[in-house]
Amino acid sequence: MTDIQSKKTTTSAFVESLSEAVVMQLQKLKEIGFSNIFVTNLPPLQITPLIALQKRRELANNIVDTYNKMLSAKTDKWAKESGVKAFGLLDINGFVQVALQHNVSNALGLSDTNNSCIGGNLLELLTEPNHAKAILNVILDMKNSVVCTEPSSYFSGTQSILLNECIVCLATMQANS
């Protein structure tokens, strides 16, 4: 993202390069004998606390949206031409978007889907202009600097494990159909 903001590259060039790399890796997997291949698109990085703190939500949203569309088109084309037995592009982005809807996050027992738990207030080190103050705050509040006080109420930990199990389950179901 820094290279895009500093105009060293463009969003489209970055996304093109990234999606081409994924397709190349898919081809390598096929060449070494994989016949059932599943890949995920990008999750909504724009909603992560780090992106929010860096004030890069619009850029992240643009990158994720552009990449996911390009990845879908390129992997669909590759799958048709490659002859793999089963291929799936799993929509992790859509899954996370649904999981973060208020009624769903409440049902999952999440009370905070906007802030980070892992890393606690360490993210302040990246955004506080006065680095000495940020370091002092981390040291004085070490307990909350590493992990928040109520990890189960954040979208991480157990929910991430559940999310991964759902992805594996979806991939297995798709491979068996």
What tokens appear for 97 in the block? 């978007």
Give tens-digit pLDDT for 83-117. 899 999 999 999 888 888 888 888 877 777 776 66
Q: Which structure tokens are listed for 1?
A: 């993202």
pLDDT of residue 55: 82
Domain boundaries, the chain: 2-115+154-176
Tens digits of per-residue pLDDT, 114-147? 766 655 555 566 666 676 776 676 666 665 555 6
Cβ atoms within 10 A of the Cβ of 98, count? 12
| Contact yes or no for 150/160 (Cβ under 8 A) | no
Tell me the CATH architecture of domain 2-115+154-176: 3-Layer(aba) Sandwich (3.40)
Look at residue 164 in the predicted model and tell me its pLDDT: 47
Closest CA to 81 of 135, 30, 140, 123: 30
Q: Are the beta carbons of 93 and 64 closer than 8 angstroms?
A: yes
CA distance 130 to 135: 9
Q: How many other CB atoms are there within 10 angstroms of residue 173's CB atom?
A: 10
Report which of 81, 73, 82 is spatially closest to residue 33, judged by C-alpha positions: 82
Q: If we measure between CA atoms, which residue out of 143, 135, 30, 18 comes closest to residue 69? A: 18
Pair of tokens at residue 16: 């093109």
> Is there a contact between 142 and 120 (Cβ–Cβ < 8 Å)?
no
Give the model's pLDDT for residue 143: 59
CA angle 70, 76, 82 (to 5 degrees): 130
DSSP code for 119:
T
pTM of the entire predicted model:
0.69
